[in-house]
Amino acid sequence: MTTTTPRPTPADTEQGDPRLDADVRLDVDHLARVLLGHYPELRLGARRLMTDERLHRIEGQTLAEHRDRVLGQLRILAAEGDVHRSFPARFGGADDHGGFLARFEELTHADPSLQIKSGVQWGLFASAIYHLGTERSHDQFLRDALTVAVPGAFAMTETGHGSDVASIGTTATYEPETEEFVIHTPFRAAWKDYLGNAGLHGTAAVVFARLLTAPAGAPRVDHGVHAFYVPIRNPQTMEFLPGVGGEDDGLKGGLNGIDNGRLWFDHVRVPRTHLLNRYGDVAADGTYSSPIASPGRRFFTTLGTLVQGRVSLDGAAVTASRLGLTIAITYGNQRRQFQGGTGDEVVLMDYAEHQRRLLPLLAETYAAGFAHEDLLAAFDDVFSGRNDTPDTREDLETLAAALKPTSTWHALRTLQTCREACGGAGFLAENRITGLRADLDVYATFEGDNTVLLQLVGKRLLTDYAKGFKHLDAVKVARLVAERASDAARFRTPLHRALQTVSDVGDPRRSAGQLRETDTQRALLVDRVETMVAEVGQALRPAQKADPATAAALFNSQQHALVEAARAHAELVQWESFTAALARVTDPGTKQVLTWVRDLFGLTLVERHLAWYLVNGRLSAGRARTVTSYIDRLVSRLRPHAQDLVDAFGFEQAHLRAPIASGAEQARQDEARAYYRAQRASGDAPIPEKHTR
């Protein structure tokens, strides 16, 4: 579908002819195909399934009703939803890891509770059995997990330790006499907590515990965190099994279709074969073995197999942002408020501030979507085995740790802004935005707390920075550091700022033209990342020769700077993905509009961090003012295409299910306008009091 929308004349255009903007056409169908990414047919198939009313959330249900409905929906998906794609063919799968997640993300349209409960069952419980177990585990446990004959929990997080999995307290002590592991919770802080399916429905759990062995005559050895398959409830009575206890987490801030709960274990015995033994095994006599000699590498490899949770949350956050913006922009194009001097009230999207609130968020959502497709491709590349090496796994983990925080925080900001942009209508549960906002709140802290994940990214950036010094002697290192410091100082000198100011003030349009160049945007974004990482790296150099306590204190003092550098890196990744995606757009008009969207995203990032660019001398005050003014021009330029840009997301009313985005508002406005026009035409319109004086 190609659309042409009249628009107000902008101050100027890139070509210098204000008439050319009005001739730009956006091909919605072409853009929609681009946005479907690497798995278009799988996504479209999942969206067709999401129009099934059996899978839709019913607002206003009680906690018990919502949970019961989502469990029933889970079983519908097991039978009809093609949810086993990432598993082996002998279990009904297709060994298709990227396609599995592409379909999984689309569940957000129906109900985020269904998406997350599905993630618990297949993305965590079943996937842990598959990725951490061997064929022994697969044959024993996997089929029942996939069919939901055994609803399962993923028992990693403890009340006392969330992100710090290495420090969990639950133990699994092996007894050679009985060939059993004894699972035990030694103190209250070691209770497993916030576990989906643990509160009510789960009959088994994959429990993460410290594996302890004591070969004959030898002291006990702690082999670190391993995973065990542990039955927790009688499937007939749904009562806890002997030694297992727990509590229901009860009502939460969102995702109340999921029965989150707590579990504890009092010397619960499971057979030796219940150890998921891909990365560590225990022989009958208690001898421990592992294909990975290093305990640290073994631990990170174990956790790395579970990265798909972060990948899927990144995609779900993008979907939620798209839903919110589609609802808000559609409503903004129909809802009218205040007289505009033409006799009719003005649609909300024609107000400059309304555009400024929503369109930069739309641009960032496009960037997040393109970055997610790159993440999905990297995930499939590794998990399919096509390119599975320690380095590619580390790259994947770093990319997921960068994008999941960025997209989930963005989704929360976007949904809140969309709610406010829709006024009182946005606060009504029937219009879904508040429900989506509540459900996505926890995305910022589960599958890895966002701030902790960015610390992981920052550490990787520091490691890569240090590699630049690895093969240099001390003299060359000192020279390189001095050159970088000199370069940073050069940007801060009054002379450099004065020269840049002179070049800026000649022609504002020329200055704006430089800012919209791809190379200029890339240079600004790359420079910020590299400078921030270099400054942290230089600040931490004394830690190399310091005692552990001093080194830890020094690292702690740089923690905020490290997190900010990781944020800057994630933003750069999104911008690069957006820029690369432009090459996949073949329709000229669509490519032009999408380039404006990319420019809006890039310059919004610069504006967001304008203080940094000014303090560090990367932009003059004159150029900084140009950033904001050009953003305003881009927003105005994109206003006629706003509806097309959200329509390209490809959502039907069955996906949105928001009355304010159904056309009902347009019908109300048309009725009101017709009423007043008829009054004026008949001469029956009342006379304003001020006209009688």
What residue spans define the domains of the chain? 157-300, 450-647
pLDDT band for 693, please (50, 70, 90 cuts): confident
Q: Terminus-to-terminus CA distance in the chain, angstroms?
A: 54
Q: Return the exposure string of 66-76: e unless at least 16 CB atoms fall within 10 Å of the residue's CB, then b.
A: bbbbbbebbee
Query: What tokens does 365 get?
Result: 């959502």
In angstroms, how far is CA 620 from the centroid of its own chain?
Answer: 34
Beta bridge partners of residue 5, listed in sequence order: none
pLDDT at 215 over 90: no
Contact 231, 183 (CB under 8 A): no
Mean pLDDT of 44-64: 95
**Furthest CA-CA distance within the chain:** 107
pLDDT of residue 501: 40
pLDDT in tens, 517-543: 999 999 999 999 999 999 998 888 888
Contact 103, 46 (CB under 8 A): yes
> How many CA atoms does the CB half-sphere of 475 hold within 13 Å?
0
pLDDT band for 500, please (50, 70, 90 cuts): very low
pLDDT at 484 over 80: no
pLDDT in tens, 156-170: 999 999 888 999 999
- Helices 40-50 & 97-105 angle (0-180, nearest 10): 40
Q: What are the respective helix, strand and coil percentages of the chain, to the nearest 5?
A: 60, 10, 30
Q: Considering only CA atoms, which of 587, 584, 471 is closest in space to residue 35?
A: 584
pTM for this one?
0.90
pLDDT at 7 over 50: no
pLDDT in tens, 348-376: 999 999 999 999 999 999 999 999 999 99
Query: What tokens does 176 get?
Result: 């050679």
Cα→Cα distances 443→59, 243, 377, 408, 474, Å: 21, 32, 22, 6, 45
Mean pLDDT of 564-572: 97
367 or 479, which is more confident: 367
Which amino acid, one-letter code, is at 531? T
Q: Which residues contact 79 (CB under 8 A, 6 or more apart)?
A: none
Considering the chain, what percentage of its residues have pLDDT values greater than 90? Answer: 74
Query: What tokens does 153 get?
Result: 């929990």
Query: What tokens does 352 get?
Result: 């400059």
289 vs 279: CA distance, rounded Å = 9
Q: Considering only CA atoms, which of 197, 177, 447 is closest in space to residue 312?
A: 447
Contact 355, 600 (CB under 8 A): no
3-state secondary structure of 223: strand
pLDDT in tens, 282-341: 999 999 999 999 999 999 888 887 799 999 999 999 999 999 999 999 999 999 888 876
pLDDT of residue 488: 47
Handedness of CA 442, 331, 351, 516 (dihedral sign): positive
pLDDT at 31 over 90: yes
261 vs 155: CA distance, rounded Å = 10
Query: What tokens does 294 get?
Result: 């290093």
Mean pLDDT of 553-559: 91
679 or 498, which is more confident: 679
pLDDT of residue 498: 36
pLDDT in tens, 439-452: 999 999 988 999 99
pLDDT at 37 over 70: yes
pLDDT at 97 over 80: yes
pLDDT of residue 622: 85
pLDDT of residue 491: 43
What value does the mean pLDDT of the chain take?
A: 89
Contact 512, 630 (CB under 8 A): yes
Instruction: Give the CA angle between residues 168, 174, 179 to the nearest 5°.
Output: 145
Q: Considering only CA atoms, which of 486, 508, 510, 483 is closest in space to residue 496?
A: 486
Query: What tokens does 613 get?
Result: 């660019």
Mean pLDDT of 549-557: 89
Q: Which fold has domain 157-300?
A: Butyryl-CoA Dehydrogenase, subunit A; domain 2 (2.40.110)
Q: Which fold has domain 450-647?
A: Butyryl-CoA Dehydrogenase, subunit A; domain 3 (1.20.140)
92 or 595, which is more confident: 595
pLDDT band for 506, please (50, 70, 90 cuts): very low
pLDDT of residue 10: 35
Tell me the three-class secondary structure of 161-197, residue by residue.
CCCCHHHCCCEEEEECCCCEEEEECCCHHHCEEEECC
The burial class, CB within 10 Å (0-12 / 13-18 / 19+), for 449 is middle
- Determine how many CB atoms are found less than 10 A away from the CB of residue 176: 17
254 vs 123: CA distance, rounded Å = 20
Which amino acid, one-letter code, is at 251? L
pLDDT of residue 218: 77
pLDDT band for 623, please (50, 70, 90 cuts): confident
369 vs 646: CA distance, rounded Å = 13
80 vs 46: CA distance, rounded Å = 11
pLDDT of residue 452: 94
Catalytic residues: 447
pLDDT band for 546, please (50, 70, 90 cuts): confident
pLDDT in tens, 610-620: 999 999 989 98
Q: Considering only CA atoms, which of 322, 358, 389 is closest in space to residue 604?
A: 358
Contact 649, 322 (CB under 8 A): yes
Note the residue count of the chain: 693
